[in-house]
């Protein structure tokens, strides 16, 4: 993959066959973008567990991939993210603290989940674009409260987008380390519903 000044993204639902690519992308994102916030031991213990793919989201139809539609890397998956109507706050399939029970949109907060961007496509607005996209999808499902377990790396972005810190947590890792994450929440205001029901055709040209 190479860099470009004018990215163009296409969102689509993640599929089971994307899993291997997504696991590699998540690992590359963590190791490439979180070095100033986590130790090598923390990253090694978190990749694939605390910071890993949650295939329940794919099965639920609430996880999305972002494909590059420009000349940089046409068709390549360069980012991912989703939301969930289940109680699990964060972590992948093999992470701790999972709870698959369903949330009530009238009183519970939807979970914003697992937003990752390939390092070569970082700092170009893609993370923000993914966040806005999945927020809208959660709102379309009736949720007006959102929360997440943010990495230390991602927390400044989410704070700029209106999320507030609720508590700081430590996720135990299998290698004996622990991973600091920040529970953050946001109340969203209702916006005009999107008329396009076909996720495949939604694209963003954020710079």
Q: In the chain, what are the domain boundaries?
A: 9-191
Given a contact cutoff of 8 angstroms between Cβ atoms, the answer to whether 7 and 126 are in contact is yes
Given a contact cutoff of 8 angstroms between Cβ atoms, the answer to whether 25 and 77 are in contact is yes
Query: Is residue 207's pLDDT more than 80?
Result: no
**C-alpha span between 112 and 145 (Å, rounded):** 10
* pLDDT the model gives residue 200: 53
Q: Would strands 110-117 and 164-172 be described as parallel, antiparallel, or unpaired?
A: unpaired
The average confidence (pLDDT) of the chain is 90
Coil, strand or helix: which one is 24?
helix
* pLDDT the model gives residue 71: 63
* pLDDT the model gives residue 160: 98
Residue 189 pLDDT class (50, 70, 90 cuts): confident
Q: What is the pLDDT of residues 38-89, one digit of tens each?
A: 999 999 999 999 999 999 999 999 999 999 986 666 789 999 999 999 999 9
Residues in Cβ contact with 164 at an 8 Å cutoff, skipping those fewer than 6 apart? 184, 185, 186
Query: Is residue 205's pLDDT more than 50?
Result: no
* Overall CATH class of domain 9-191: alpha beta
User: 0.85 cut: is pTM over it?
Assistant: yes
Given a contact cutoff of 8 angstroms between Cβ atoms, the answer to whether 69 and 203 are in contact is yes
Coil, strand or helix: which one is 58?
helix
**C-alpha span between 77 and 84 (Å, rounded):** 21
Comparing 70-79, 126-135, 153-162, which segment has the lowest mean pLDDT?
70-79
């Amino acid at each position: 993959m190479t860099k470009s000044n004018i990215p163009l993204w296409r969102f689509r639902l993640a599929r089971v066959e994307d899993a291997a690519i997504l696991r590699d992308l998540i690992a590359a994102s963590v190791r490439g973008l979180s070095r100033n916030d986590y130790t090598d031991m923390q990253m090694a213990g978190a990749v694939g567990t605390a910071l890993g793919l949650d295939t329940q989201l794919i099965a639920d139809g609430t996880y999305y991939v972002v494909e590059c539609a420009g000349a940089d890397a046409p068709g390549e998956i360069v980012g991912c993210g989703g939301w969930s109507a289940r109680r699990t706050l964060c972590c992948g399939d093999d992470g701790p603290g999972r709870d698959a029970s369903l949330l009530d949109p009238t009183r519970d907060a939807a979970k914003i989940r697992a937003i990752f961007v390939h390092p070569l496509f970082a700092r170009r607005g893609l993370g923000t674009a993914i966040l806005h996209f999945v927020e809208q999808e959660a709102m379309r499902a009736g949720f007006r409260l959102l929360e997440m377990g943010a990495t230390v790396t991602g927390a400044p972005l989410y704070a700029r987008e209106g999320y507030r810190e609720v508590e700081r947590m430590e996720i135990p890792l299998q290698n004996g380390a622990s991973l600091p994450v920040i529970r953050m929440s946001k109340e969203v205001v209702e916006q005009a519903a999107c008329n396009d029901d076909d996720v495949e055709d939604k694209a963003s040209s954020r710079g």
